[in-house]
Amino acid sequence: MDYKTRVRISTILIDEKVTPGTDVTLLGWVRTVRIGKAVSFVEVNDGSCRSGIQGVAETESHPELKTITTGASVRMKGALVVSEGKGQKYEVQISSIELIGAAPDNFPLQKKRHSMEFLREIAHLRPRSNTFGAINRLRSKLAYGIHKYYQERGFNYIHTPIITASDCEGAGDMFRVSTLPADNPPKTKEGGIDWDKDFFAEQTFLTVSGQLEGEALATALGDIYTFGPTFRSENSNTSRHASEFWMIEPEMAWAELEDNMDLAEDFLKEIFKFTLNECSDEMEFFNQWIEKGAIEKLEGVINNQFERLSYTDAIKILEKNSDKFEFPVGWGTDLQSEHERYLTEQVVKKPVILYDYPEEIKSFYMKVSGDGKTVGAMDVLVPGIGEIIGGSQREERLDVLVERMKKKGLNPEDETYQWYLDLRRFGTVPHSGFGLGFERTLMYVSGLSNIRDVIPFPRTPRWAKF
């Protein structure tokens, strides 16, 4: 069979590269069929864009129409004509329609509204629905937009390891990678597990962040970014946490916290601009069906300066409103998502960058400030989501870093940290970077409120199906 003659529906409807009157061959999946006495209608969608194209045929001269059902894959041939019907530009006057793969009545995606919960159970079929077609196309295009942003600015794309012996965030929420038998691992003389017998002869995990390795590359190439999968075994069953998610982590040598904040703000604005320009088909869909005002929201972000607020000032605001929160708030506490959302949604009503956090609540690698109490950390919070970016200026002074590690209960003599400390021993430079959660960005852009719906096959506690 010759499939090469097919025309994508996006070529017709978005790119407008086919003139009416041309014979076209469409390959796709049937969304709806209406068999009338005289005339029948078949709507075919091929996943290349939001809309399908309706084919029209005389019922009597096409007995094969009887085999065509919702969900079936078909080859539809005919002349493309300007449609007189409402809400569609073109239709196809069917010359032939051929069933490729049948879909019996039990095809789960019949034309009706399905709940998001039900669609998660059929994650293998949900990409054929409007919402999941749109989010998966958006995911692809935005990934390209992000690469474009960094490549055009001279940042080098780095592949950091997925299996690692370092615990970047020090939070202990890591998935172990091991080939030792789980039921009877080899033991040391002291009775503990003998990791020396494991595959890598040491304990290894799936990475929670590519940052530490990213720093090694930034302190050689200047500006780098990573864009890869990261894994966290934290048992947070929320709409904003996934156990496997993608992160974009730029790292810049010769950059301080303010440069980092400038990059974060510019980066978000530029990728939102890219989205509005290059993903208009998807954004119109989200704007109409998922979050009314989604387009205006992005325009607002692009055209306004982000608020910048120190942690200390943020705490003062929150303390004045403490009666509104479930969790207590005070200087030194980690902000809960209710606090973050209150700041961005109720106080500043736009994205806000919080900076200079208490050193006790932040990771070991962050730059110690002159006040001895805070570190040069920054988080970007956006309405509806909360934290979307976390980053910092890194501690580049060897002696200060070593002291801070000790304070955090890490052993700076430990073999695993030596390469990281070498970056400070040899030609150290001020450097900064951050991590943007790709799924949280997609949630913000599309208005989809659950992280499980912006990644094709989500992994969350007690859920690794597909």
Positions that interact with ligand 4AD (CB under 6 A): 168-169, 209, 211, 232, 241-242, 245, 247, 249, 387-392, 433-435, 437, 439-440, 451
Which tokens sit at 394?
Answer: 């890194």
Which tokens sit at 350?
Answer: 């736009």
CB of 306 to ligand 4AD, least distance (A): 15
Pick 43 or 213: Cβ nearer ligand 4AD: 213
Which tokens sit at 67?
Answer: 């085999």
- Which helix or strand (DSSP H or E) is residue 9 part of? helix 9-13
CB of 349 to ligand 4AD, least distance (A): 20
Pick 68 or 388: Cβ nearer ligand 4AD: 388
Pick 145 or 390: Cβ nearer ligand 4AD: 390
Classify 408 as helix, strand or coil: coil
CB of 350 to ligand 4AD, least distance (A): 17
Pick 40 or 392: Cβ nearer ligand 4AD: 392
Residue burial 395-422, b: 16+ Cβ < 10 Å; e: rest? bbebeebbebbeeeebebeeeebeebbe
CB of 344 to ligand 4AD, least distance (A): 13
Pick 286 or 364: Cβ nearer ligand 4AD: 364
CB of 245 to ligand 4AD, least distance (A): 4
Give me the phi and psi of 161, to 5 degrees please.
-70, 150
Which tokens sit at 283?
Answer: 């954004």
Q: Which amino acid is at 442?
A: L
The length of the chain, given as a count of residues:
466
Pick 85 or 161: Cβ nearer ligand 4AD: 161
CB of 214 to ligand 4AD, least distance (A): 6
CB of 170 to ligand 4AD, least distance (A): 10
Which tokens sit at 356?
Answer: 């200079």
Which tokens sit at 366?
Answer: 């962050």
Pick 153 or 459: Cβ nearer ligand 4AD: 459
Residue burial 168-202, b: 16+ Cβ < 10 Å; e: rest? bbbeebbeebbeeeeeeeeeeeeeeeebeebeeee
Q: Which amino acid is at 331?
A: W
Name which of 454, 2, 32 is nearest 246 in CA terms. 454
Token look-up 């879909």 returns 103
CB of 229 to ligand 4AD, least distance (A): 11
DSSP labels for 272-336? Answer: HHHHHHH-HHHHHHHHHHT-TTHHHHHHHHHHSPPEEEEHHHHHHHHHHTGGG-SS---TTSPPP
Pick 41 or 150: Cβ nearer ligand 4AD: 150
CB of 451 to ligand 4AD, least distance (A): 6
Pick 9 or 378: Cβ nearer ligand 4AD: 378
